[in-house]
Chains A and B, each alone.
Chain A
Amino acid sequence: MGGLKRKSSSSAKTLAKSKKKKGPHLPNSILKVIANQKRPLNSDEEDDDVIGSDDEHGGDLYEYEEGVPEEESRKNNRYDRHDNYDYELPEDFEPWIVFLVACHCESKSKPVLFTEAYPEGEFNPTRDVLEGKNVLTEEDFLAPLEGTPGYQKTSKQIARMRKDTKHVVHAPLPKPQRERLERKAVIGLVDEEFSKWVHLVKKNREAPTVYFNQDVDLGYSTVGAIASEFQPRTDFEKKMASVLNDSEVSMEDHIKDRNHIAKMRSLLFRHELKSKRIKKIKSKTYHRLKNKDLKNSSLGALIDPEMAKEEAMRQEAKRVEERMTLKHKNTGKWAKRMISRGLNVKYDGTKAAIAEQLQMNATLSRKMNSMRDGSSSDESDDEEELNDGSDEDTPSRLIAKAKEKTLRALEDDEVPNAGLMSLPFMARAMKKKNEEANEEAKRALEEYEEWENSGGENSKKTVNVSGRRVFGATAKVEAPKESRKDSDNFYDDSDSDNDMAGIEDNNIEPVRDNASPARNTITDTEKFDDDVAGNPASKTTFDVAMFASGSWKKMTGSKNTESKKASKKTRAPTPQAQDKKGSRDEESEDSESEAEEMVDGVLTFASKETFEVPSQAELINRAFAGDDVLDEFEKDKEEVLNQEVPKPEKPVLVPGWGNWTDIQRKRGISKQMVQKHEAEKKEWEQGLKTRKDARLKHVIISEKVDKKAEKLHTTTLPFPYTSKEVFEHSMRMPIGPEFNPSTIVGELNRPEVVKKTGVIIKPVKFEEVNPNDEVDDEHPRNHQKQRPKKKTSRRQGKVKSK
């Protein structure tokens, strides 16, 4: 109790003291003296109180010493805790603890006896404090209470409190620290708020165009839109609406429709099942029959490529027959008579009939596949190459080869026993042909032997003797008669080459096998040896012809300019020319041209004997004898250098310029000018040295700067681009409407921000954006909401989805 009282009194004193202290600042010792003197003047009440209080502690002489200013006393550590007791009290707060603490503090602040010269303070603590003795504890306060009721309880509580550190109320943190912690917490929250926008902002930034004209509500734009929103109000409108609604699809119709679709679907399903089942059947006969059916239906040709091939073959056979028989080419008895009598001109009916026949002939004999016309010529080219290769062989080897082949051809003499070839007339024709071929082969063999004996020198002569030309010439005379007699083979001659080429292209092997012997003459030479099953006769002829033409070519080929063309033309018909004594006009032309070429060949061959081939270097030297290229190049380079790095002009004395004539002449060129010239010269030399082609003698690298093109170049890479390639790529394509289709011009030219004057742009609203989504620019240009109702419905949908 006493403690409390003292506290109040002391606080009153300090207040008074602080008021007094407003005067000049005096040292404490002086103040003491003054206070002592003034004491009688002061109010008694205060003094009494002070004395009284002092009395309790044993009569202190220096009572005024205790009235230290608050600030000074606060310097003491023990007072610090006082300031911070304005925090909220815990729930289990008990007021008596405060009382105890207060007592504790007060007791320390008021020493009983001042033996020190200076007042007790932070820097001058009492000895008791220093030694740790005589410090008041809770026990000291509890001691007088011992024995009173409730003492046990209190002491227990205190003991518990000492153990229990959890419930001790600590002093709060200093304000700056506290604020820092608070801020940290707030920062976390605010950053979270901001971070949720990142994806949206990123999307907006990366979008090539941002649209701000979307929220324009134009209301209804079309009549249809208005009509769709129409609600009948008046009686009349309602009546109309009911009538209109009645005309709509009824339920029955709908059901009917649905049933129909269901039926179709089930049918389809069954069909599928059936086809699956059929596919599973392994029986070959079944499939054969089935295929036959399919074939008969002629629908199969469209489906099956195998069948198509067969069909083509059948067609081909028909055609062959037509071409052989010439049934429809006015060769019939009736047609001949009509024509000879001129009735076909006279009567329209006859004319029409003949025309019809011709037409039929045309259709039948028309080439079926003319898709790749060029292939035949390619083949012939190949042959030619082969022949060219053989040219390089020595004549003796060639002869040996030819001989060998001829012999082999003579040996195998087979007659096919199936197909078209097995037909009696065909067989007869073949036999005849074979005989002829054999004869020819024998003759050829004799010739070979002769050549072999005579050696390579005679080759020229023998070629002349080979006699194809002669045959050709005779054939020309005989042609008109013979053409009728053996028309079957005759007509084959005309375009057998082309025919075969066409068919071969389609890979129809069987046809080739069945084809007429004449045709086989032109088959690929590489396959020739393998196809032993083919016609021996024709093989023979081919080989012979090949050899003959090859040997002929060897001579003409050296100088003849049109040798290739000629050989291409002539080679195909030659076998026939040898086979038969007959040939056509076309062939005769060839023979004529060949005859001429032959003459050429002879001439060149003769000159070749005296000609020595000069070396390459010599040739070049001779060709460029007149011009001095190196010198010219050097001159050119000098010119270019002069243009790009101009040589500085030498200073010249110009009388009348710069000085008086006489004096100038005496003095010579001024020093300044010479110096300037020297500097220029140095610069020029430096310029020459730094050129890229300075050390390259035979190269001019132009370093001319095109001033007009310079304005189209940037000196540095523009900002957003990080590499030259990307920048150049972005500039590669033009964006104008002349250079681009109108569908993309709008997109190419679209500005970054599309806005509309007069439309208020609202700040961004938060929406979830998937960061993995790519930015799509398929935004419609004028994306205007035209139906407000739709918008609301969408919003509702969103709410629902949430």
Chain B
Amino acid sequence: MRIKTISRSVDEFTRERSQDLQRVFHNFDPSLRPMEKAVEYQRALTAAKLEKIFARPFVGAMDGHRDGISCMAKNPNYLKGIFSASMDGDIRLWDIATRRTVCQFPGHQGAVRGLTVSTDGNVLVSCGTDCNVRLWSVPRPSLEDSDLSSEKSTEVVHCLFFLITLYSLVLLFILITSFFLSQPSAVYTCKNALLAVDHQFEGDLFATAGAQLDIWNHNRSQPVQSFTSGSHSVISVRFNPGEPDILATSSGDNHISIYDIRMSSAARKILMRTKTNSIAWNPMEPMNFTAANEDGNCYSFDGRKNEEAKCVHKDHVSAVMDIDFSPTGREFVTGSYDRSVRIFPYNGGHSREIYHTKRMQRVFCVKYSSDATYVISGSDDTNLRLWKAKASEQLGVILPREQKKHEYNEAVKNRYKHLPEIKRIVRHRHLPKPIYKAKAESRAMNDAKRRKDERRKAHSAPGTVVTESHRTRRIIKEVE
């Protein structure tokens, strides 16, 4: 008879420090754990429920503007700063961490319609309905950094005798910072009102959209190049982050055009049934872009094949006003006229998340933060709102074990997301009543239309009635 003995060497089992964990041995034989699937399913269920419990996406609002926010720009070089402009011509720089205005840029008469920051984060470009393009130099971030932290540290360090004087100093400091006004470094004037501006990635060109598309250099008072197309004005322009010379525009005559600024004319033109309000390029896939359309859908296109959209992202019940890609390229955020912000996967037909509050009005602009962790929305109610990109994400420092646990929960949930119970919990969202009703209504309309089409098809000669796919339905043609 054989006796199996346990032999363990002292070397392997001696801990280096008393805090070290003891070695634990596991037998991974699956026959010993027949219930593993059930256990993991239960964990997935728990994780889904926990996600719901911890879903608190709203971080805070930034108020200060006196009119609806028209546009925003994020500083590509500095995470905490975000610029916003309102319909009354007010431009502000916000510190996201403290959610306060750091700096104001006065000067525009009338609404500011476009804002953009150069890639190095030094130059802010704004344009508006007053036919002006204004260039501003962005204050150094060190100024904002020493905002609150310095106050506290000085408080701690200094003794009581200087307390009163210190407070007065601090107050003065706050006053100065809150009324810190910047002067434009340059003002260029055009003939027509401007509706959008965007800066080239890692270059010194920027493009303005108005009656025509103009390409500007920082240092020239006249456009370097201009493109005209048709009689309608261009309403949005966006440079490709991967290919700095390529940009996409949308115009009032329902066209989406792709330009190469080294060439003299547009490369591609798509004619759609409805207007496109905004365009965003995928920062990780330079050939792909997504267009936010007036009909409440977003259309993802491949820049090389425009006769059909690659994906139609449906969920908004009203016009999509703005769109911004996550820097990871896997998601994008949209703001809509239906007073909601949604986050879509780049290849998914429906949104992953909807954000709304009671007081948030029409959303005119949205931005995804440069670290893909936050989403910022600017709306008609004069507020900027800061949201978490993942509603239930734990912020702050996370210890490795905690991190592992989160990852496991996520993986398990992702694994069993197809099962009915988990799917129901994960998908469930409370919607504002108007959106809920509008959705139900549109669903009813779509169903009716579909039914009618089916009947029409059934009662006509085969092949005469062709149902067009959703991906091509709203595209009239690609202009040759």
B285 & A760 in contact (Cβ 8 Å cutoff): no
Chain A residues with CB under 8 Å of B419's CB are: 711-714
Chain A residues with CB under 8 Å of B420's CB are: 711, 714-715
| Known A-B contacts A714-B419, A741-B28; A763 and B33 likewise in contact (beta carbons under 8 Å) | no
Cα A297 to Cα B466 with chains together (Å):
95
B265 & A757 in contact (Cβ 8 Å cutoff): no
A731 on interface, CB distance cutoff 8 Å = yes
Chain A residues with CB under 8 Å of B260's CB are: 186, 189-190, 193
B268 & A190 in contact (Cβ 8 Å cutoff): yes
Tell me which of A134-142, A233-241, A412-420, A747-755 binds B.
A747-755
| Known A-B contacts A194-B287, A194-B303, A736-B39; A212 and B372 likewise in contact (beta carbons under 8 Å) | yes
Q: Return A268 CB to nearest CB of chain B, in Å.
A: 36
Chain A residues with CB under 8 Å of B267's CB are: 183, 186-187, 189-190
Chain B residues with CB under 8 Å of A738's CB are: 26, 33, 36, 39
A398 on interface, CB distance cutoff 8 Å = no
A467 on interface, CB distance cutoff 8 Å = no
Q: Which residue of A lies closest to B305 (CB)?
A: A191
Chain A residues with CB under 8 Å of B154's CB are: none
| Known A-B contacts A734-B36, A736-B39; A749 and B411 likewise in contact (beta carbons under 8 Å) | yes
A672 on interface, CB distance cutoff 8 Å = no
Cα A455 to Cα B225 with chains together (Å):
127
Find the residue from A184, A741, A755, A760 having the highest chain B CB count within 10 A. A760
Cα A527 to Cα B28 with chains together (Å):
50
B480 & A761 in contact (Cβ 8 Å cutoff): no
B215-241 vs A, CB cutoff 8 Å, 1 = contact: the mask equals: 000000000000000000000000001
Q: Which residue of B lies closest to A202 (CB)?
A: B285
Q: Return A716 CB to nearest CB of chain B, in Å.
A: 8
B421 on interface, CB distance cutoff 8 Å = yes
A189 & B263 in contact (Cβ 8 Å cutoff): yes
Chain B residues with CB under 8 Å of A741's CB are: 26, 28
B283-317 vs A, CB cutoff 8 Å, 1 = contact: the mask equals: 11111000000000000000110000000000000
A758 on interface, CB distance cutoff 8 Å = yes
B407 & A755 in contact (Cβ 8 Å cutoff): no
B189 on interface, CB distance cutoff 8 Å = no
A190 & B303 in contact (Cβ 8 Å cutoff): yes
Chain B residues with CB under 8 Å of A714's CB are: 418-420
Cα A741 to Cα B258 with chains together (Å):
52
Partner of A734, one of B37, B373, B395, B421: B37
Cα A138 to Cα B242 with chains together (Å):
61
Chain B residues with CB under 8 Å of A748's CB are: 411
Find the residue from A193, A731, A755, A763 having the highest chain B CB count within 10 A. A763
Tell me which of B158-166, B323-331, B354-362 binds A.
B323-331
A735 & B265 in contact (Cβ 8 Å cutoff): no
B408 on interface, CB distance cutoff 8 Å = yes
Q: Which residue of B lies closest to A716 (CB)?
A: B418
Find the residue from A205, A746, A749 having the highest chain B CB count within 10 A. A749
B266 & A186 in contact (Cβ 8 Å cutoff): yes
B408 & A739 in contact (Cβ 8 Å cutoff): no
B382-404 vs A, CB cutoff 8 Å, 1 = contact: the mask equals: 00000000000001000000001
Partner of B242, one of A210, A212, A740, A766: A766
Q: Return B374 CB to nearest CB of chain A, in Å.
A: 9
B43 & A183 in contact (Cβ 8 Å cutoff): no
A169-210 vs B, CB cutoff 8 Å, 1 = contact: the mask equals: 000000000011011111101110111011001001100001
Partner of B328, one of A212, A711, A739, A766: A212
Cα A201 to Cα B303 with chains together (Å):
14
B415 on interface, CB distance cutoff 8 Å = yes
Chain A residues with CB under 8 Å of B33's CB are: 738-739
Cα A388 to Cα B241 with chains together (Å):
89
A731 & B26 in contact (Cβ 8 Å cutoff): no
| Known A-B contacts A735-B40, A740-B28; A759 and B410 likewise in contact (beta carbons under 8 Å) | no
Chain B residues with CB under 8 Å of A210's CB are: 328, 330
Chain B residues with CB under 8 Å of A205's CB are: 285
Number of A-B residue pairs, CB cutoff 8 Å, is 162
Cα A758 to Cα B327 with chains together (Å):
13
Chain A residues with CB under 8 Å of B395's CB are: 757
Q: Which residue of A lies closest to B398 (CB)?
A: A757
Chain A residues with CB under 8 Å of B269's CB are: 183
A736 & B263 in contact (Cβ 8 Å cutoff): no
A737 on interface, CB distance cutoff 8 Å = yes
B412 on interface, CB distance cutoff 8 Å = yes
Find the residue from B38, B283, B408, B410 having the highest chain A CB count within 10 A. B408
Cα A734 to Cα B36 with chains together (Å):
7
Partner of A763, one of B38, B241, B268, B412: B241
A770-793 vs B, CB cutoff 8 Å, 1 = contact: the mask equals: 000000000000000000000000
Q: Return A753 CB to nearest CB of chain B, in Å.
A: 5
A718 on interface, CB distance cutoff 8 Å = yes
A764 on interface, CB distance cutoff 8 Å = yes
| Known A-B contacts A718-B418, A766-B242; A758 and B371 likewise in contact (beta carbons under 8 Å) | yes
A327 on interface, CB distance cutoff 8 Å = no
B41 on interface, CB distance cutoff 8 Å = yes
Chain A residues with CB under 8 Å of B371's CB are: 755-761
A764 & B329 in contact (Cβ 8 Å cutoff): yes
Q: Which residue of B lies closest to A756 (CB)?
A: B371
A731 & B286 in contact (Cβ 8 Å cutoff): no
Cα A194 to Cα B268 with chains together (Å):
13
Q: Which residue of B lies closest to A746 (CB)?
A: B404
- Chain B residues 333-384 with CB under 8 Å of chain A are 370-373
Cα A180 to Cα B395 with chains together (Å):
53
Q: Which residue of B lies closest to A185 (CB)?
A: B263
Chain A residues with CB under 8 Å of B28's CB are: 739-741
B77 on interface, CB distance cutoff 8 Å = yes
B243 on interface, CB distance cutoff 8 Å = yes
7 residue pairs, one from A and one from B, having the closest CB atoms: A763-B241, A761-B327, A194-B287, A763-B283, A749-B411, A718-B418, A190-B267
30 contacts between A and B (CB under 8 A): A182-B263, A185-B263, A189-B267, A190-B303, A191-B304, A194-B286, A194-B303, A205-B285, A212-B327, A212-B328, A711-B419, A714-B418, A714-B419, A714-B420, A731-B37, A734-B36, A735-B408, A736-B39, A745-B408, A746-B404, A750-B411, A752-B330, A755-B371, A755-B372, A758-B79, A758-B371, A759-B371, A760-B79, A760-B327, A765-B242
Given contacts A738-B39, A746-B404, A758-B373, 5 further A-B contacts (CB under 8 A): A184-B480, A204-B329, A210-B328, A760-B327, A760-B371
